[in-house]
Amino acid sequence: MAPRLTVKCIECGKTVRLAGYPRLYCSDKCRQVLKLVHYGRRVFRDGRIEDPLILQAIQMRIAHILGGGYHQTERRLPPETRKAVLARDYGVCQICGQPATDIDHIAGDSADLDNLRTLCRSCNMAEAELGFRPATPEMVREFDQLMERIQADEPLFERDSEHGWDVRYRQMRVDQRARMRAAGMEILG
């Protein structure tokens, strides 16, 4: 019988079973939360959060997270697909006619050309907001907690400090690999 090694998710504290790969998060959502906090803290400190587009982008990321996370992998487009959509749409926003900056998935995550269109940043944000549902009281609390973490003068949690985070992250993965090897587990990748 294979050994059962567990760790705690560094974001929410939930127990995570190690099986084949070192894991620091219980879900992609938890990974996205910490990535957002690091980004938000940077733009808050350097004043870029005052830019309405940056603030809107942070609020959009939080809305995606509260809705279960953003399906980044499924929505990533190969360069050839991006070029094909830009060429087909003549590089202009399909809503307002301004120069296009984004490729929009019209419905769901499909990368089929019929499901993609070019939009400017403003129209893309507006289209994304149309898909949001009203926040529950729990979502409002989560939003407030994330904004508190972003705007705190000092990190509220050690993991919130992006300074040196990449080094700590790599070391945690090395430590987990060592535990897995010591337990005789096969490590994939």
In a domain, 54, yes or no: no
In a domain, 97, yes or no: yes
Model pTM above 0.95: no
- Give the residue-averaged pLDDT of 99-120: 91
In a domain, 82, yes or no: yes
- Give the residue-averaged pLDDT of 117-131: 88
The parent domain of residue 85 ranges over 75-119
Q: How many domains does the chain have?
A: 1
Q: pLDDT digits over 138-167, tens only?
A: 999 999 999 999 999 999 998 999 888 889
In a domain, 13, yes or no: no
**Quick check: 1 pLDDT over 70?**
no
CA–CA dist 35, 32 (Å, integer): 5
In a domain, 35, yes or no: no
3: confidence class by pLDDT, cuts 50, 70, 90: low
In a domain, 87, yes or no: yes
Q: pLDDT digits over 4-31, tens only?
A: 788 999 999 999 988 888 889 998 889 9
CA separation, residue 35 to residues 12, 101, 120 (Å): 14, 23, 25
In a domain, 48, yes or no: no
CA–CA dist 72, 70 (Å, integer): 6
- Give the residue-averaged pLDDT of 49-58: 88
Q: What values do phi and psi take at 17, rounded to 5?
A: -85, 130
In a domain, 106, yes or no: yes
